[in-house]
Copies of this chain bind each other. A is one copy, B any other.
Amino acid sequence: MSTDTTPPLRADARRNRDRIIAAARAVFAEQGPEVPMEEIARAAGVGTGTLYRRFPDRDSLIRAVGQDVFGRVLVEARAIAERETDPWRALTEFLLTASDMHTVLRLAVHSPRARAVLGTDPELAQVRGQMLTILDSMVRDAQEAGALRPDVGSGDVALLLASVLHGVRNVPEDVRRDAPARYLTLVLDGLRASPGSTLPGRPVTGADISMARVYPAE
């Protein structure tokens, strides 16, 4: 079964491969999977030649990043499901698996290309299935505990999270820093005045999002 068709990788080559995936993960989360290859190479500190040697085309890089990041999130999800007994807290903690989750959603929800590539990868189908199962049960548990409203599905939860993580750009650095936690909390708590939890971050004013200033897309 383990027919070693791959001649083992040299030490530095393996290191660079990991760097490339890590860099691509970050860049994909930030800008989506259609950024110039050269930018990914630069972020990884390698030349484009090295990048192409390891990943013959963009799709194969997308696959590698997909497997990496879905795997991470799955591991995290399992850990939380096991550690956290309160279903509401399990759900919120899971949703805050911030940066990896960000990449996952960017690839899974916001990028048609990544969807096309990852959707046809049998390796990933497995992992995705398990992730969805866990999310489903988290949602159901939270609903049975009366903590989560019953008229939503796990897809709703994913879409809302994707929106909130993706949507906040062109704001001051400090707002941006707190945005995911702040808005996730807000979405969960609701905008309606209620004896909810305390929001992290500060209120964003109209001036904060004024068009006069353009903040770097980073």
Contact = CB atoms under 8 A, between A and B. Distances in A.
A112 B170 contact: yes
A186 to B, nearest CB: 7
Interface residues of A, number: 69
Q: Interface SS of chain A: helix, strand, loop or mixed?
A: helix
Interface string A148-191: 11111111111110111011111100010001001100111111
A87 to B, nearest CB: 12
A156 B206 CA distance: 8
Given A115-B214, A166-B167, A206-B136, A192 B193 contact: no
B110 A158 contact: no
Nearest to A91: B191
Interface stretch (A23-31, A46-54, A197-205): A197-205
B209 A152 contact: no
A23 B30 CA distance: 29
Contacts of A143: 193
A131 to B, nearest CB: 9
Interface of A: 108-110, 112, 114-116, 118-120, 125, 128, 132, 135-136, 143, 146-160, 162-164, 166-171, 175, 179, 182-183, 186-194, 196, 198-199, 203-214, 217
